[in-house]
Structure 1
Amino acid sequence: MQHVGINNNSLVSLNYSRFNIESNIGKMGHALITYNASSKLLVASWFFEGTTSGFMPKTSVSYQIDLGEILPEWVTVGFSGATGLSNEENVIHSWEFTSTMNSTRSDVNKESYIITKYKFQVKVVVVEVTCSILFVLVVIGVSWLIVIKKRRSGDGFDLDKASMPRRYCYNELIAATNGFADDRRLGEGGYGQVYKGFLTDLGRVVAVKRIFSDVEDSEEIFTNEVKIISCLIHRNLVQFIGWCQEQGELLLVFEYMTNGSLDTHLFGSRRTLTWDVRYKIALGVARALQYLHEDAEQCVLHRDIKSGNVLLDTAFNTKVSDFGMAKLVDPRLRTQKTRVVGTYGYLAPEYVKEGRASKESDMYGFGVVALEIACGRRTYKDGEYNHVPLTNWVWKQYVDGNVLNAVDEGLKRDYDVNEMKCLLTVGLWCTLQDHKKRPKAEQVINVLKQEASLPNLFTDMRA
Structure 2
Amino acid sequence: MNGDYCSSSSRPHKLPLHYLMKITNNFSEVLGTGGVGVVYKGVQSDGVIVAVKKLLHSMPNSLEQFENEIDLLMRLEHPNIVRLIGYCYNIQKQHVPYKGEHVFAEESEILLCLEYMPNGSLDRFLSDPDSRVDWHTRYKIIEGICNGLEHLHEQTDGPIIHLDLKPANILLSDAFVPKITDFGLSRLLDPRETMCTMMVRGTLGYMPPEFIQGILTSKSDIFSLGVIIMEVVTGQRNYLEDATISSEEFIELELQKWRNMLQQAPGYTMQEIDCPQIKRCIEIGIICMNPLRAERPTITKVIKMLRGQDDTDGDVSNDVMSSAFQIRSGPTELLYIYPNELSFSLEPGRRNRNIRCLVRLMNVTDKCVAFHFKATRASNNYCIEPADGFMWPFATTNVVVTMEELGELLPSDLQCNDEFLVQSIVVKEHRVTSEHIPEDKFNMMPSNKVHRVNLSIVHVPPNQATSQEQVQHSEARLDALQSEGPQKVCFSKWSGAASGLTSSNQLKQYNSKVIDI
The TM-score normalised by the length of structure 2 is 0.53
Cα deviation for residue 394 of structure 1 reads: 7.7
1:234 aligns with 2:82: no
Cα deviation for residue 253 of structure 1 reads: 0.9
1:432 aligns with 2:290: yes
CA distance in 2, matches of 1:192, 1:458: 39
Q: Deviations over 1:330-365 (max 9, x none)?
A: 2331344351111111000011x2111111110000
Cα deviation for residue 190 of structure 1 reads: 3.0
Cα deviation for residue 266 of structure 1 reads: 1.5
Tell me which amino acid in the other structure corresponds to 2:202.
Answer: G
Cα 1:458/1:287, change in 2 over 3 Å: closer
1:170 aligns with 2:14: no
Counterparts of residues 50-449 of structure 1 (less than 5 Å): 163-181=10-28, 184-200=29-45, 204-246=48-90, 247-268=107-128, 271-337=131-197, 339-351=199-211, 353-378=212-237, 381=238, 390=239, 393=241, 396-406=244-254, 413-414=261-262, 416-449=274-307
Cα 1:230/1:398, change in 2 over 3 Å: farther
The TM-score normalised by the length of structure 1 is 0.58
In 1, are the aligned partners of 2:287 and 2:315 still within 8 Å (CA)? yes
Tell me which amino acid in the other structure corresponds to 2:284.
Answer: V
CA distance in 2, matches of 1:255, 1:408: 39
Unmatched 5+ residue regions in structure 2? 91-106, 263-270, 324-517
In 2, are the aligned partners of 1:377 and 1:408 still within 8 Å (CA)? no
Cα 1:409/1:264, change in 2 over 3 Å: farther
Cα deviation for residue 459 of structure 1 reads: 5.2
Counterparts of residues 15-26 of structure 1 (less than 5 Å): none
CA distance in 2, matches of 1:421, 1:413: 15
CA distance in 1, matches of 2:194, 2:5: 39
Stretch of structure 1 that moved more, 296-305 or 166-175: 296-305
CA distance in 2, matches of 1:190, 1:459: 35
In 2, are the aligned partners of 1:208 and 1:254 still within 8 Å (CA)? yes
Stretch of structure 1 that moved more, 233-242 or 331-340: 331-340
Cα 1:410/1:177, change in 2 over 3 Å: farther
In 1, are the aligned partners of 2:246 and 2:318 still within 8 Å (CA)? no
Cα deviation for residue 410 of structure 1 reads: 8.6
In 2, are the aligned partners of 1:198 and 1:204 still within 8 Å (CA)? yes
In 1, are the aligned partners of 2:36 and 2:66 still within 8 Å (CA)? no
Cα deviation for residue 238 of structure 1 reads: 0.5
Instruction: Please report the RMSD computed on the Cα atoms of aligned residues, expressed in angstroms.
Output: 2.7
CA distance in 1, matches of 2:256, 2:111: 38
Q: Deviations over 1:231-277 (max 9, x none)?
A: 01111101111111225222111100111111111213774321110
CA distance in 1, matches of 2:256, 2:19: 44
CA distance in 2, matches of 1:401, 1:227: 45
Q: Deviations over 1:277-333 (max 9, x none)?
A: 011110111111111111454310000110111111121111111101111112331
CA distance in 1, matches of 2:313, 2:219: 17
Cα deviation for residue 199 of structure 1 reads: 3.0
Tell me which amino acid in the other structure corresponds to 2:36.
Answer: Y
Cα deviation for residue 214 of structure 1 reads: 0.7
Query: Which position in structure 2 is the counterpart of 1:87?
Result: none
**Is the partner of 1:282 in helix, strand or coil?**
helix
Cα deviation for residue 457 of structure 1 reads: 3.1
Q: Deviations over 1:419-440 (max 9, x none)?
A: 1111111110000111111011
**Is the partner of 2:310 in helix, strand or coil?**
coil
Cα deviation for residue 204 of structure 1 reads: 2.5
Stretch of structure 1 that moved more, 288-297 or 406-415: 406-415
**Is the partner of 2:87 in helix, strand or coil?**
strand
Tell me the matched-pair count. 292
**Is the partner of 1:347 in helix, strand or coil?**
coil
Tell me which amino acid in the other structure corresponds to 1:186.
Answer: L
CA distance in 2, matches of 1:402, 1:227: 42
Query: Which position in structure 2 is the counterpart of 1:149?
Result: none
Cα deviation for residue 449 of structure 1 reads: 1.0
Cα deviation for residue 203 of structure 1 reads: 5.9
Cα deviation for residue 458 of structure 1 reads: 4.9
